[in-house]
Structure 1
Amino acid sequence: MRMHRRRALAWITVVALLGGCGSAGNSPAADPRDGLRQQADGALTRYDQAVRAAGGAPFVPVGELTRQLGDWEPANGSYKEALSAGRVEAASTLPGAPTSAGTIVWADGNRRDVPLISADRALAQLRAAGTGDCSGCTPLKLTGARLTTMTVPTTRGPATAPAWEYTLAGTAVRLARVAVDLSAIVRVTPPPWDAEHPHEGLAIESATTTTARSELTVTFTGVPGPGSKPCGADYSAEAVESDLAVVVIVIEYRHAKDEACGDIGAERSATLTLSRPLGERAVLEVTQGRPVQLTITG
């Protein structure tokens, strides 16, 4: 069933009209945000599908599911490249999947029981997540594993999740990998790349809200200065909403068109008002529809 969607627009400062609004004759100009709204609708559809595929599970981790515990010793400089490439092997038999479910606990006290996987399956996922070419690296050797917990950023704030912690040969560094079965994790698939119709917009990087209010503040990389200065810009934001998520569109108002400016970016923010408090909904960026980390301040 298609989720009902609403749009809420909150202006921060408007110092210039959006470019390209003029047109010949009396025909109304197309709103340059329409393409971004279509992208947002697509992102909401993919997210809704991902949630249903996970059985309605609200566990949506943000970022990597593997964590390095400790720093590499000077003599083990090559270990970093090996880990990044997923060159990790078990040197001994690893524990199997626990017979009982694990529990994810959020900072607000909400809990959810989830199925767990074996240390071998978690290791396979760790290897599959590797990137880069390190064919000449000596693989890291896992010497053991124990079931523990780790703090994971999620779309509902930080959560404590079951994790496998691995010991390694030749180093005090340990590795941790979320032990939750992928069937209980919401995984968003970005849209395919299309060179003729590239994904547009500014991708937000994080979001902050409160439990009771509808204001949402997002951060992103923009130009350093305000729109009142050369090469500067002001920003506003709007949200396309569903019952499960909101996609934030950032709108930029440049000081002037065609200015010769550097490419240095700076952290900027914008605040918008949703149609209702965020609740357990996820916040997604508009370019690929990926969830971003959420902070709940009270």
Structure 2
Amino acid sequence: MMRRVLPWIMVAALLGGCASAGNSPAVDPLDGLRQQAGGALARYDQAVRAAGGAPFVPVGALSRQLGDWEPANGSYKESLSAGRVEAASTLPVAPQQAGTIVWTNGIRQDVPLISADEALAKLRAAGTGDCSGCAPLKLTGARLTTMTVPTTRGPATAPAWEYTLDGTSVRLARVAVDPSAIVRVTPPPRDADHPPEGLAIESATTTTASSELTVTFTGVPGPSSKPCGADYGAEVVESDLAVVVIVIEYRHAKDEACPDIGAQRSTTVELSQPLGERAVLEVTQGLPVALTITG
């Protein structure tokens, strides 16, 4: 294992077949990915500071559909996707100013809450579809409840507003935690001339005491011993708040004509110390991924 300490990050490389001393290439092909990783750690650090050091880092959407649309309500899907949701009556405020997030390991964190109206505004803003001609969904009520949310510290039960809708049994849920207590990472601006490099990991698994971190991602189906196959290694760039995993692909051969078929693959990397409360980030945009702690 190679380790290099930079001014604010530590790099731990676990690569098989590294060049021997004195035979290192003039330009390391991983340098670009390491720079991406360093930028991802800097952005994550800024996001944590902006949230007051809050440990609640949800992964993925904070809104959820509960149930399936009835056949007669097929257009409701497009309305929801576009964020076309309106309250048919006054929605309640939270019955208390604070709620509690509870992780599966028993750790608890008190957080400020927002009203059902504020959560609805966030739900609408999350819409990405284009449905200007769709009829809006009508909310008929809201109640404060909880929902399970994947986070960088494993699944957590968080306060949430649950909304009922007119004309359907489907309900909508939105995390009721005030955005000031949520760490949300903003990816770097898209640059068509210099797109991000690397493979994005999708999830990570570790144990409380282990320094090993196993990550999953989409790669090619077969091993490098077979045509169009590949083996995978990894390098990790670490800080006090997060780690970025760089997946390294070892192809069977260059310039093979291969079908565009993906399969879930995994690889394991050694951290400098157990992960603890640090987040695991993918390298292409620096976004956090869901973590599973197995013991």
TM-score (norm 1): 0.93
Find 2:261's aligned residue among 251, 254, 264.
Answer: 264
Structure 1 residues 241 and 223, CA, compared in 2 at 3 Å: closer, same or farther?
Answer: same
Confirm or deny: 8 A CA contact 1:105 1:112 kept in the other structure: yes
Partner Cα separation in structure 2 for residue 286 and residue 85 of structure 1: 29
| C-alpha displacement of 1:132 | 1.4
Q: After the TM superposition, which parts of structure 1 deviate over 2 Å for at least 4 consecutive aligned residues?
A: 26-29, 97-100
CA RMSD of aligned residues (A): 1.6
Q: CA deviation at 1:8?
A: 1.4
User: Aligned to 2:153, which of 156, 179, 184?
Assistant: 156
Contact 1:98 1:116 in 2 (8 A): no
Distance change (3 Å), C-alpha of 1:186 and 1:3: farther
1:102-160: per-residue Cα shift (whole Å, max 9, x none)? 10000011111101001001000000000111111111000000000000000000000
Amino acid at match of 1:178: V
Question: What is the distance in 1 between the residues matched to 2:96 and 2:67?
Answer: 30
Distance 1:70 1:3, change over 3 A: farther
The answer (yes or no) to whether the contact 2:103–2:155 under 8 Å persists in 1 is yes
Question: Aligned partners of 2:96 and 2:108: how far apart in 1?
Answer: 19
Q: Is the 1:96–1:118 contact (alpha carbons within 8 Å) kept by the matching residues of 2?
A: yes
| Amino acid of the structure 2 residue aligned with 1:122 | A
**Partner in structure 2 of residue 56 of structure 1:** 53
Q: Which residue of 1 aligns with 2:189?
A: 192
| Equivalence for 1:283 | 280
- Quote how far apart the aligned CAs of 1:3 are: 7.7
Aligned to 1:214: 211
Query: How far did residue 81 of structure 1 move?
Result: 1.1
Partner of 1:90: 87
Report whether the alignment pairs 1:7 with 2:11. yes
Q: Give distance in 2, aligned partners of 1:94 and 1:248.
A: 43
Matched-pair contact (CA < 8 Å) for 2:234–2:247: yes
Gaps of 5+ in 1: 19-25
Identity of aligned residues (%): 83
Structure 2: gaps spanning 5 or more residues: 1-5
Task: Check whether the contact 2:67–2:170 (CA below 8 A) recurs between aligned residues.
Answer: yes
Note if 1:106 corresponds to 2:81: no
How many pairs are equivalent? 287
Task: From 66, 69, 76, give the equivalent of 1:69.
Answer: 66
SS of structure 2 residue aligned to 1:86: coil
The residue that corresponds to 1:21 in the other structure is: none
SS in 2 for 1:113: strand
For 1:95, the aligned partner's letter is P
* Structure 2 CA distance for aligned equivalents of residues 81 and 124 of structure 1: 18
Query: Given the two structures, how large is their TM-score scaled by the length of structure 2?
Result: 0.94
In 2: Cα distance, 1:81 partner to 1:268 partner: 33
CA distance in 1, matches of 2:116, 2:100: 17
Does structure 1 residue 241 correspond to structure 2 residue 238? yes
Give CA-to-partner distance per residue, 1:64-107, whole Å, 9 cap, x none. Answer: 10111111111111111111111100001001244431100000
* Whole-Å separation in 2 of the counterparts to 1:257 and 1:223: 14
CA distance in structure 1 between the partners assigned to 2:158 and 2:7 by the alignment = 29
